[in-house]
Structure 1
Amino acid sequence: MSVISSSTRLSVSSRKSTSIRSVLNSTKPTKVRFQLHHTKNVRKIIIDYVRKKEVKDYENLLCLIRDSELLDEDIRLLLNEATQCISLLDQDLSLFIEAILTVDWLSYREDVIAEYQSFLINLLSAHNYHAKLVIDRLVKKFYPETETDEWPDGVPNDADCNKCINVHFVISIVLKVVPMCKELLLQAVISSYPYLRKSSHIHEYYLHNLLWILEYQPDLRRDLLKLIFSRLVLLDVHSPREEIEKHEQDMGLEDCIFNFDDDKSVYQQNLENKVKHPLAHTLDICMDKMFNFCYIEVYNTDTGELNWEKLKGLYHDIISSFDKVIFPTYNTHHVQFIIFFLCSLKPSVSEAFLNFLWGKVSSACIAPVHRQTAAAYIGSFLARANYIALGMLKGTLQQMAGWVHSYIAAQDGIDCINADVRVHTVFYSVCQAIFYVIAFRHKDLLNSKKGLTFVQSLNLAKMVTSPLNPLRVCQSAVVQNFAAVTRKYQLAYCYSIIEHNSRNKIPTIYRDEKGAVITSNNVLDSLYPFDPYLLKRSEKKIAPFYLEYNDIMEETHNRTSVNVREEHQETEMDCDDFLTDTTTNNKLNNQFSYGTSPGFKSNN
């Protein structure tokens, strides 16, 4: 008796039968027409093969199944016969099972699909030896049958949706009947994941099916998310920001040269909404699907209300994958925005994410490079997320400032401070995060007397005048914008230190673990994980929560460059004065270009 009820099936377009006469009369070469001459034929052949009476008929049957054109009635009779002798289909008949698995069963009638599904489930219920082979074949159905365009807005058409439903119906039943198939399913989806240079629709189709598994097997979510993030990271690191921008510029120039018509065609309009870099375009489609998945996963589809328990569970699963896959990877530009989007759904998630990052920064048990990365994430997150409450922003700044002052106090007791940047990398990274956030969010922090009092309590002057001299190590774009803010609000005096540092730049030369000679310019790496998002389709999910930079240099630069020489002439002994120079300022400001600076705009 079949395990599956026919009432659970969804209709699929029926396969059109072709008469034998029309096949024979066709001028094109066709497959041989397979036909069972007797209702007991298949069962008899299998029984005879098991008893070692007849091998030739068995081999001919395999060839007929693989090479012939099976019509709806043919495959239905074949499956019916095979089901009646299901107890005989052990590992000795694995070739027969392989032959049946080669059948394109999704293209047949609804009743034939139901018969095929029933056969697979009954087979694995009786012989789990075939589980790996069946699961591997089912996962192969996660690929589209033909190379077609992407789904509009990422939504599958009815035909593809019906095929996916039929495949996942079998997998869901098999996972219940044979629990060991969970591990086999994980192995199959990992080994079958599309190569990164496959078409964008193949990636879209496969990712859609992976996320579909979570609807009936949610306990696999953490493992599948880890797999998805690891493959998205590969796409991300192979589509660097510089290459994406170059492709956009090159294609834009080509459009200008060859576009002679005033009216844009639909094709040209589609190009404008598509990232020109091929891998970035694939990443864009996958990121859009992941944002949609996160939203649907935590919101009630009927009421539209946020489910806090679901959000907590999803956050813990995503932060686990983030910690293992995204966080340790250098120079990713877009994948980390999934956690950025998730944090926008509720302030408690943002707080949890900041606590997670600060735990890494403040832990001496974690490698300095990871502590440095965590500090960069905190700075970039606080600067770019417009949903961060002012209280949370101030609390995090106060926490970082307290740690910095404790570090400075510990160094004050040492007679000779080691000036090697590598020794104090975490300290400098935290300082740079503080400077970056204050420069970026100064209008939010300093828009009232209470806000000014708070920033004054951070004691920024002590940081910049510390013997460790963080202004020497932090990136020049951050330093110049931070100096402009502190000058305007009289929070600290940085320009004299900046001028002194510019005259005393000495590179550090050392040997690494392998003995190679390394020359360092003693400046922190540019790591700002939430720099502007370049992917066009998925960018719409990020834009409502993203802050662009308002450049304070535009309002202070002219006044500074005109008055600084006069102030310098008034007193050369005033060490707190702004000993900056117009030429130097202009040179540094030109470095604030998009993509090379931490989000600061250029002052041209």
Structure 2
Amino acid sequence: MVSVVPIVRQSASSASKPSKPLLRRATLSGTVRKVDDAGLGDDFLSAPPSPSKKARVTFKDEVEEKVMEEYQVKGRSLDSVRGEVKRALHAHLKDDSEGYDVIKEVFAPRRDDDEDEDEVDAKADIKAYVIALTSQASLLNKNCSDLVKAILGCEWMGRDEGFVKAYVHFLGSLASAQGAYVGMVLGMLVNHFYGVKLSSGRLPGCPDVNRDQLASRIHVALKYLLRLIPSASGTLSSILSSKFPSPDDSKKEHITYIENLIRLIEFTPELKSDVFALITDRLVKIDVQMQVDLEDLDDEVAAAIVQALALNRASTEENDADDSDSDLDSVTSDEEIQTDAARIKEVRENIEKMDSILDLLFNIYNPYFADPHSIEAANMFETLLNHFVNIILPTYRSRHTQFLLFHFAQTAEHLVDQFAGTCVQLAFQTSRPAVLRQSAAAYLASFVARGAHVQPNVVRTVFELIGNNLDVIRAENEVTCRGPDLRRYGTFYAMTQALLYIFCFRWRDLIEASDIDEDEDPVAFIGQDLTWTPGIKETLSRTIYSKLNPLKICSPPIVAEFAKISHHLRFMYVYPLLETNKRIRLSQFSSSLANGALRDTGNGGNNESWHQLDAYFPFDPYQLPVSKRWVEDDYVQWKSVPGLNQDEDEDDESGEEEGGEDDVEVEEDSTGDDDDE
């Protein structure tokens, strides 16, 4: 858990940790609970008890016998089947597997050409075999693994409720008696998290079972097993990770799997943290791959894909496949090479997948922040912060996943403060790798600049904190500095670029006092001396004119925009320095010290761009068409400075409304992709 340094308030009320889950009560063994105390009651299929009202149901022999009275085939009683199973298992241990093989065949999938009368009778009596094997679970050791696999692979979800109850009871007895099978049993159940087939609920001789009922039976079985063996939750966590859909799997598989994960943690709260971390980790991987694919495509093709998805957002799930093909045709109608068409289709599917998963996650997280001052919100935000520090921040190309933090951090002022404070702490920690400190500075600047609910006092405080830190770094290094060097002073340049970016977007919040109303007179700023927050101008002046020369290293589009705005507002005039910098070659100062930087200088040789900072600001415009609705009200769009480039503004009023020409200049270069806002 990350300790947070608040930006405005010095302390925040700490949320109390949830009490130990009731589902994990201590037992005499410390690991396994009694079978008859695990909640597998007569009504367990229709209405699983809530954690606050758990039913306690005991299994009695006479009840079990009564269930089987009407389940006899050709006069065979339950005792007869039990005897057969017991003899077969003992014989199998002595290398006589004739009866053992007969039992295995009982659980084999039914074939269309099954005509053998004895085989049909055996399959009809499958419930008796399940109950008989339950009582002999202690004999099902590793020598019986093929029989266990056959039982776990049988068609059980779509049978009558009595059979399903007996089967789940068997799973519990097997896992309790033979710990080696716990992973296999849990894995069989998790395999259904990708979705259950409708045909599984339409078995011959059994009443039809719909998909919702089939899915419920999977979770009832998991709930029963985890109540019976609380320690199995650790095994389940690793299984959930290993079986998570791969990035190449379909959108439907991802959505279904995640929905099942969320349903799972409703009755296994001890897995909540692991499950949310798993989802975030896999989402970031999809995010990165999608971004790489988009950058490889032609700009116009990438824009057409996003536009097609936006137009298709109202389509139903039933028509997704057909709509996808028709939309793809419209995007790739001019493509002549089949491989290019296939690649575009893959990119389109990944964008749609990413969009749907994020929209689902916004919906999942949103109820926790219904009251952003609640304990639930505090705990969930701590979870999000942990994901940010451990998963999102170290992933340089993450493009959209971080907007979960962007949105929910702005649901309350204290959460804004908490997220900004976390970024400040990460950026200033000298013990952290330089590349992570630089990335944290980029997140801090982007959040403060783009967050519509980030108050002016936070903007000023962050500006001051970064400025003070820059003074410390400058004082420590200026004496020995030979010239601008990205590798050696990467953190200094990243923090300077953060200030330039914040200034370009939030300069209005850095004005301490002004009687000018820009809404009444858009050119009123021209030629006026504005009163700036004390220390702002002095800090930037010391930084910019230091021997470390950050304007030569920071991204040229950001520097150019800062120079233009600061000059127009009579804040600072840096054009002479920019002219001088044109004569400086960065390669002569570049050190071989591998200190880490957001820009990998690599073997760029004399190419100056390889020695300059990449303009990475992780909250640049959000492009996913469906989930975009969650962040639209949280976002600060670019506003041109009144009176600056007035002629251009008048010629392109519509472009200014969507972000403006200046916005395009800054944003396109800062994201590394096209932002069609």
Please state how far the C-alpha of 1:450 moved relative to its aligned partner. Answer: 9.1
Higher relative contact order by CA 8 Å / sep ≥ 6: 1 or 2?
Answer: 2
What do residues 133-180 of structure 1 show as CA deviations (whole Å, max 9, x unaligned)?
1011111111113599xxxxxxxxx94443332212221222222122
CA–CA distance in structure 1, aligned partners of residues 41 and 101 of structure 2: 33
> What is the root-mean-square deviation of aligned Cα atoms in Å?
3.8
Pair 1:500 & 2:580 matched? yes
SS in 2 for 1:81: helix
Alignment-derived partner of residue 426 in structure 1: 491
Q: Given the alignment, which residue of 598, 617, 634 partners 1:545?
A: 634
CA–CA distance in structure 1, aligned partners of residues 141 and 182 of structure 2: 11
Please state how far the C-alpha of 1:205 moved relative to its aligned partner. Answer: 0.8
What do residues 174-221 of structure 1 show as CA deviations (whole Å, max 9, x unaligned)?
222212211210121111111111111001111111222221222222
Pair 1:529 & 2:618 matched? yes
Indicate how the Cα distance of structure 1 residues 325 and 597 shifts in structure 2: closer, same or farther if over 3 A, else same.
closer
- 1:393 maps to a residue whose letter is V
SS in 2 for 1:142: helix
Please state how far the C-alpha of 1:101 moved relative to its aligned partner. Answer: 0.9
SS in 1 for 2:150: helix
Pair 1:5 & 2:5 matched? no
CA–CA distance in structure 2, aligned partners of residues 385 and 204 of structure 1: 29
CA–CA distance in structure 2, aligned partners of residues 336 and 59 of structure 1: 55
- 1:473 maps to a residue whose letter is I
Alignment-derived partner of residue 77 in structure 2: 39
SS in 2 for 1:141: helix
Structural mapping, 1:160-171, within 5 Å: 160-171=211-222
What do residues 62-86 of structure 1 show as CA deviations (whole Å, max 9, x unaligned)?
1231132689964433323333444
Alignment-derived partner of residue 181 in structure 1: 232
Alignment-derived partner of residue 557 in structure 1: 645
CA–CA distance in structure 2, aligned partners of residues 297 and 164 of structure 1: 25
Q: Given the alignment, which residue of 167, 172, 195 partners 1:121?
A: 172
CA–CA distance in structure 2, aligned partners of residues 101 and 416 of structure 1: 69
Note if contact 1:42-1:82 (Cα within 8 Å) is conserved in structure 2.
no
SS in 1 for 2:631: helix
Note if contact 1:196-1:235 (Cα within 8 Å) is conserved in structure 2.
yes
Q: Which moved more, 1:438-447 or 1:135-144?
A: 438-447
SS in 1 for 2:452: coil
Structure 2 unaligned runs (5+)? 1-34, 49-71, 112-119, 200-208, 310-318, 329-344, 517-529, 595-599, 649-660
TM score, norm. by length of structure 1: 0.78
- 1:464 maps to a residue whose letter is I
Structural mapping, 1:301-450, within 5 Å: 305-306=371-372, 308-411=374-477, 414=479, 417-446=482-511, 448-449=513-514
Indicate how the Cα distance of structure 1 residues 517 and 298 shifts in structure 2: closer, same or farther if over 3 A, else same.
closer
- 1:556 maps to a residue whose letter is L
SS in 2 for 1:595: helix
Please state how far the C-alpha of 1:58 moved relative to its aligned partner. Answer: 1.2
Structural mapping, 1:277-292, within 5 Å: 277-292=348-363
SS in 1 for 2:665: coil
Alignment-derived partner of residue 584 in structure 1: none
Indicate how the Cα distance of structure 1 residues 247 and 275 shifts in structure 2: closer, same or farther if over 3 A, else same.
farther
Please state how far the C-alpha of 1:545 moved relative to its aligned partner. Answer: 1.0
CA–CA distance in structure 2, aligned partners of residues 68 and 512 of structure 1: 68
- 2:429 maps to a residue whose letter is S
Pair 1:294 & 2:365 matched? yes
Alignment-derived partner of residue 582 in structure 1: none
Indicate how the Cα distance of structure 1 residues 140 and 601 shifts in structure 2: closer, same or farther if over 3 A, else same.
closer
Pair 1:134 & 2:199 matched? no
Alignment-derived partner of residue 668 in structure 2: 595
Q: Give aligned-pair identity as a percent.
A: 22
CA–CA distance in structure 1, aligned partners of residues 258 and 365 of structure 2: 14
Alignment-derived partner of residue 471 in structure 1: 551
SS in 2 for 1:216: coil
Note if contact 1:90-1:127 (Cα within 8 Å) is conserved in structure 2.
yes
Alignment-derived partner of residue 157 in structure 2: 106
- 1:50 maps to a residue whose letter is L
Alignment length, in residue pairs? 528
CA–CA distance in structure 1, aligned partners of residues 365 and 557 of structure 2: 35
CA–CA distance in structure 2, aligned partners of residues 243 and 540 of structure 1: 27
Note if contact 1:477-1:598 (Cα within 8 Å) is conserved in structure 2.
no
What do residues 480-519 of structure 1 show as CA deviations (whole Å, max 9, x unaligned)?
2212221122111122222222343443566687998443
Alignment-derived partner of residue 241 in structure 2: 190
CA–CA distance in structure 2, aligned partners of residues 543 and 252 of structure 1: 17
CA–CA distance in structure 2, aligned partners of residues 600 and 394 of structure 1: 30
Note if contact 1:45-1:58 (Cα within 8 Å) is conserved in structure 2.
no
CA–CA distance in structure 2, aligned partners of residues 287 and 130 of structure 1: 35
- 1:312 maps to a residue whose letter is A
CA–CA distance in structure 1, aligned partners of residues 533 and 102 of structure 2: 84
Alignment-derived partner of residue 55 in structure 1: 97
Note if contact 1:9-1:110 (Cα within 8 Å) is conserved in structure 2.
yes
TM score, norm. by length of structure 2: 0.70
Note if contact 1:475-1:526 (Cα within 8 Å) is conserved in structure 2.
yes
